[in-house]
Amino acid sequence: MKRVRLFLAVLVATAVVVWPTGHTTTPAVHIGQQPTLTLPDLRPHLEAFEQIAQAHGGHRGHGSPGYAASVAYVEQKLIAAGFKTHRQQFTWNRDDGINLIADWPGGDPNDTLMIGAHLDSVARGPGINDNGSGSAMVLALALAVAATGHRPQRHLRFAWWGAEELGLIGSAHYIRMLTPESTKQIRGYLNVDMIASPNGGHFVYNSDNPIERALMSYFTARSIPTYAIPYEGRSDYAMFLRAGVPVGGVITGTREIKTEQFAAWWGGTAGAPFDPCYHQACDTNANINETVYLHSSNATAHAFWTLSHGPWEAH
């Protein structure tokens, strides 16, 4: 009888250790230390994007080897950090397009927080402000989530969109491929496009939702003036908005001219464009305002971290 009891004890112990009960339990919620993104977190990715463009015909446009190399660069960093990555293929203008989607394991998939940036440039140049700045920030944020072991109640999904410059093609494909149920699982989407303009400022989408409030709390806490801009449907947030997903984000300006008032608020040159190299070959690493970039990056990181847990409407 004693031998039987011993056998059963070993069997149970083995069953617990070797044969789990068939369902994976989500790791306990752990709120990691909110990161402060620094230039060493961001610049290496911007420099990699410019080197990729230089090695592949001068740009990272949809369907080009430069775009494919940009996807591979971001993907390998994410996989090394423990993300589950997925290349979502689509075709546009007879060229193969790719959205790179990365899910951080854990969290409630029915309550997903998303952040995204388009990874493609125009065919005229390397696209470092537009939109290496956004792509690098989203990558640095994802790596910070992994490094801090951040495991909030919400599921976290990161995206790098293809073919934005051709008309929001990649993000439109992503939304089109969602079912109504999976669309409802997305609690909110933060868009990150052009956040380091050389003569830039701090524009916040006039979302009137928890995303805008979380973004504004960063700037208000530092007494940094901001200017609310309406949705114009000119970046990847547009497709999420049309699908009924709450959206938000910041932008530091494109070819529009900086006014005297804005120069008084943010410095820089009145009467000149926020980004004189918008969609030009000179959109290189020299086309980055580091002060503006750090504020817009950390405002977005603060909002994402804040919104990753807690009651949505309480924000």
The catalytic residues are 164
96 membership: H or E segment, kind and range? strand 95-104
CB of 236 to Zn ion, least distance (A): 8
Of these, 140, 141, 251, 301, which contacts ligand DTR (CB under 6 A)? Answer: 251
Residue 189 in tokens: 């989407």
Burial of 263: CB neighbours in 10 Å, binned 0-12, 13-18, 19+: middle
Instruction: Say which entry of Zn ion, ligand DTR, none residue 254 contacts (CB below 5 to 8 A, set by partner kind).
Output: ligand DTR
| Residue 129, strand partner residues | none
CB of 16 to ligand DTR, least distance (A): 52
Q: Which residue's CB is nearer to ligand DTR, number 87 or number 234?
A: 234
| Residue 113, strand partner residues | 156, 188
Helix (H, G, I), strand (E, B) or coil at 197: coil
Scanning residues 139 to 168, which ones bind ligand DTR (CB under 6 A)?
164-165
CB of 23 to ligand DTR, least distance (A): 41
Q: Which residue's CB is nearer to ligand DTR, number 191 or number 298?
A: 191
* Contact assessment for residue 108 and residue 153, using Cβ atoms and an 8 Å cutoff: yes
The residue count for binding ligand DTR (CB under 6 A) is 11
Scanning residues 190 to 249, which ones bind ligand DTR (CB under 6 A)?
193-194, 232, 234-235
Helix (H, G, I), strand (E, B) or coil at 292: helix
104: which residues sit within 8 A by CB, 6+ positions away? Answer: 82, 83, 84, 142, 145, 146, 150, 155, 156, 157, 158
Site membership for ligand DTR, residue 41 (CB under 6 A): no
Q: Which residue's CB is nearer to ligand DTR, number 226 or number 235?
A: 235
How many Å separate Cα 277 from the centre of its chain?
Answer: 23
CB of 254 to ligand DTR, least distance (A): 5
Binding site for Zn ion (CB under 5 A): 130-131, 193
Residues at the interface with ligand DTR (CB under 6 A):
130-131, 164-165, 193-194, 232, 234-235, 251, 254
